[in-house]
Amino acid sequence: MAVDSTLPSPLGAPASGKDAKALQFIEEMTKKVDSVQQRVLREILSRNAETEYLKRFSLNGATDREAFKSRIPVVTYEDLQPDIQRIANGDKSPIFSVHPISEFLTSSGTSAGERKLMPTIHEELDRRQLLYSLLMPVMNRYVPGLDKGKGLYFLFVKASTKTPGGLLARPVLTSYYNSDHFKTRPYDPFNVYTSPNEAILCIDSFQSMYAQMLCGLIMRDEVLRVGAVFASGLLRAIHFLQTNWKELAHDIANGTLNPKVTDASVRECMKKILKPNLELAEFITRECSKEDWERIIVRIWPNTKYLDVIVTGAMAQYVPTLEYYSGGLPMACTMYASSECYFGLNLNPMCKPSEVAYTIMPNMAYFEFLPHEPSASRYVDLADVEIGKEYELIVTTYAGLCRYRVGDILRVTGFHNSAPQFSFVRRKNVLLSIESDKTDESELQNAIESASILLKEFNTSVVEYTSYADTKQIPGHYVIYWELLVKDSANAPTDDVLNQCCLQMEESLNSVYRQSRVADNSIGPLEIRVVQTGTFEELMDYAISRGASINQYKVPRCVSFTPIMELLDSRVVSKHFSPGLPHWTPERRR
Ligand code: AMP
């Protein structure tokens, strides 16, 4: 079937009739951005006309942009929280949406230390599924033959909780992997995974990873692409292989399954996959026992054509490490999504990480953009954004979020038909991030204050601090540089006290951070590096020598610039690590 597609420099024709339809759909949507957006807004506002939220602002059934923009305020999560709490407590009246709220999606963005709760409705699953269904048709045009093998994807679910009113609260991917859309997906030769559903759906992250890695090793010759959602997840898998290859090789040699994997459904499904294979076990042992792990991905999975991981935004810090482990395989960032809404996809997925641009699909929600410049107040429609400019993304969703600030800053890099393409610039107010954790300036400040209390009896205070997300090792960890004022050197805080300060900081960081530490083991112990007195003054001198104004100089609360790191590290007098795990349970603290 011929398709007049203008997708950027594709290498081949659609791989199938199904692909051709998907590509056609992308073309249609991107050619009619503004009219699709008008239709989406009309649909959302007309179906939700009787909701408490729209009535509160006297929209009176209007469905046009002008009325919508003039009467409905642009809001943040904190503005909506009282209403969200009512839903969580069991209020079933139509507050945001006339459709029943099917569950809450727990965002990795936090509010007062806890994950944000995003109300969603059942049909949103179809919309997410639709976006997923477009990814392979695009990829197949760039990478032929993906139907000849499998994808090794490390996919995980996380703990779910129930709100006081009985609604499920869980991350969006946990919701998706547990849905029939995923569990009973029809066979698609272009989208076959090595991981069985049972392994993906196993809530214990060790058992899940163990089973997924074992399958990946057993099917190593069939693997054509290796991936995880985010780069940090794939590196975690490599680290897992580094620490567990002996046990994995033992299982492969004997056709047995490690007794640490206790989940009955995982054990049952692995029975069908495991057979003794001495040759493979010897190969794994040979490769993994080498000191040098450079190119390990292509050494173990020699037919891998690309890595499928997001390496944009906070994940860009992992590009060099992934290049090292993969021998420079292309990294495909295929989509841009959030708990609030799935936004769009990358139409040129084999481009370099620095060139990734996401095309927002106008059928997913109604999108507005606030120019990211001082005192901007005019909200721009999707079709009207300008190349080169940066914007903050605002969404109005079918689930009932109206003019909601997502917190992402995007830059327009070009257009596909009339659909703008955006590079992800950064998330607003995020200082530190290792994986899905997002720590902002005030959270860091609170953590410092809370730890400083332990220093009081030593007549010591923290006079300056900054931070750094150290991702050189896996898992990455937070490093906090402290300059201390010790008033009584005979009674200076001991090593043990400073270790406890690390743990105290962790205790006061948000629940996503603590979950990553405790349940996922994806962030290592927090480290405090105490620096010599006067180090932060040197830091200021350095900034001023590079043109900073003395009057306006502020200590950067997070650093990554190599000369600054070198300066700080050369002044370190002692290093301290968190001696234990902070508290975390799936239940919310409030
Ligand atoms: P969550 O709501 O926890 O799923 O987090 C969604 C957020 O993750 C988005 O608002 C972005 O800040 C970030 N994110 C998602 N996809 C991408 C991507 N492709 N590139 C960069 N950041 C992303």
Determine the distance separating the centroid of ligand 1 and the alpha carbon of 314, expressed in angstroms. 9
**Ligand 1 pocket mutation, candidates 230, 310, 343, criterion most atoms within 8 A of CB:** 310
Q: How far apart are CA 526 and CA 547, in angstroms?
A: 33
3-class DSSP assignment, residue 313: helix
Alpha-carbon span 253 to 248, nearest angstrom? 9
Q: Exposed, middle or buried by CB within 10 Å (0-12, 13-18, 19+), for 123?
A: exposed
Write phi, then psi, for 570 (nearest 5 degrees).
Answer: -75, -10
- Give residue 107 CA to ligand 1 midpoint distance, Å: 10
Determine the atom of ligand 1 nearest the C-alpha atom of 115: 3
Average pLDDT over residues 569-580: 98
157 C-alpha vs ligand 1 centroid, how far in Å?
17
Q: How confident is the model at residue 9 (pLDDT cuts 50, 70, 90)?
A: low
pLDDT value of residue 212: 98
Query: Cα(16) to centroid of ligand 1, in Å?
Result: 30
Distance CA 399, CA 121 (A): 6
Q: How does pLDDT run across 27-44, given as a tens digit for each residue? A: 999 999 999 999 999 999
Q: What pLDDT is recorded for position 368?
A: 98
* Closest atom of ligand 1 relative to the 333 alpha carbon: 19
Closest-CA residue, ligand 1 atom 10, reads 338
Q: What percent of the chain has pLDDT over 90?
A: 94
Q: Is pLDDT above 80 for 415?
A: yes
Q: Which of 311, 351, 424, 428 to mutate to test the pocket of ligand 1 (most atoms within 8 A of CB)?
A: 424
Q: State the DSSP H helix or E strand holding residue 197, giving kind and residue range, or none if neither.
A: helix 197-200
**How do residues 110-121 score in pLDDT, each as one tens digit?**
999 999 999 999
Buried b (16+ CB within 10 A) or exposed e, 280-298: bbebbbebbeeeebeebbb
Distance in Å, CA 225 to ligand 1 centroid: 22
Residues with Cβ within 8 Å of residue 184, at least 6 apart in sequence: none
Ligand 1 atom with least separation from CA of 335? 19
Q: What is the number of residues in the chain?
A: 590
Residue 512's pLDDT is what?
Answer: 96
What confidence tens digit (pLDDT) does each residue in 193-220 have? Answer: 999 999 999 999 999 999 999 999 999 9
Which of 397, 427, 513 has most ligand 1 atoms within 8 Å of its beta carbon, as the pocket-test mutant? Answer: 427
Q: pLDDT digits over 230-267, tens only?
A: 999 999 999 999 999 999 999 999 999 999 999 999 99
Per-residue tokens: 571:
């002044």
Distance set, CA 562 to CA 54, 479, 565, 567 (Å): 50, 15, 5, 9
In whole angstroms, what is the distance from residue 122 CA to residue 112 CA? 28
pLDDT at 317 over 70: yes
Where would I find the beta strands (DSSP E) of 145-301? Answer: 150-154, 161-162, 168-170, 223-230
pLDDT at 416: 97
pLDDT tens, residue by residue, 335-394: 999 999 999 999 999 999 999 999 999 999 999 999 998 888 899 999 999 999 999 999
Q: Which atom of ligand 1 is nearest to the CA of 343?
A: 16
Best mutation site among 107, 331, 408 for ligand 1 pocket (most ligand atoms within 8 Å of CB): 408
Kindly tell me if the per-residue pLDDT of 465 is higher than 90.
yes
Ligand 1 center–CA 143 separation, angstroms: 25
**pLDDT value of position 1:** 38
**Ligand 1 first shell, C-beta below 6 A:** 107-109, 172, 310, 312-313, 333, 336-339, 406, 408, 424, 427, 436
Q: Give pLDDT tens digits for 544-563.
A: 999 888 888 989 999 999 99
Distance 19 CA to ligand 1 centre (A): 26
Q: Which two structure tokens, joined as six digits, stand for 145?
A: 């033959």
Query: Is the per-residue pLDDT at 329 higher than 90?
Result: yes
- Ligand 1 center from residue 406 Cα (angstroms): 10
Q: Identify the pLDDT of residue 11.
A: 55
Determine how β-strand 366-371 pairs with β-strand 380-381. Answer: antiparallel
Q: In what order do the strands lie in the sheet with 380-381?
A: 335-337, 342-345, 358-360, 419-427, 404-416, 390-396, 366-371, 380-381
pLDDT in tens, 506-536: 999 999 999 999 999 999 999 999 999 999 9
* Dist. CA 487 → ligand 1 center (Å): 45
pLDDT in tens, 486-499: 999 999 999 999 99
Nearest-atom number in ligand 1 for the CA of 340 is: 2
Rounded to 5°, angle at Cα 450 from 80 and 556: 80
Q: In which band, very low, low, confident or very high, does the pLDDT at 12 lie, cut at 50, 70 and 90? A: low
Per-residue DSSP letters for 24-60? HHHHHHHHSHHHHHHHHHHHHHHHTTTSHHHHHTT-T
Question: What's the average model confidence in pLDDT over 87-93?
Answer: 98
Nearest to 312 by CA among 399, 408, 226: 408
Q: What is the pLDDT of residue 7?
A: 63
d(CA 528, CA 510): 18
Rounded Cα distance between 141 and 8, Å, is 10
Contact 522, 232 (CB under 8 A): yes
- Which residue, by CA, sits nearest to atom 20 of ligand 1? 312
Judge whether residue 10 has pLDDT over 70: no
Tell me the CA end-to-end span of the chain in Å, nearest whole number.
56
Angle at alpha carbon of residue 558, lines to 313 and 409, rounded to 5°: 30
Helix 278-288 vs helix 205-218: angle between axes, to the nearest 10 degrees? 110
Sequence-distant (6+) residues with CB within 8 A of 37 are: 362, 366, 367, 381, 382, 383
Task: Give the mean pLDDT of the chain.
Answer: 95
For residue 8, what pLDDT is reported? 57
Per-position b or e across 30-45, b if 16+ CB within 10 A of its CB: bebbeebbbebbeebb
Give me ligand 1 centre to Cα 492, in Å.
43
Task: Report d(CA 265, CA 257) in Å as an integer.
Answer: 13
pLDDT of residue 375: 82
Looking at the predicted structure, is the pLDDT value of residue 2 above 50? Answer: no
pLDDT of res. 72: 98
Q: What pLDDT score does 5 carry?
A: 47
Q: Are strands 306-310 and 223-230 parallel, antiparallel or unpaired?
A: parallel
Mean pLDDT to the nearest integer, 100-106: 98
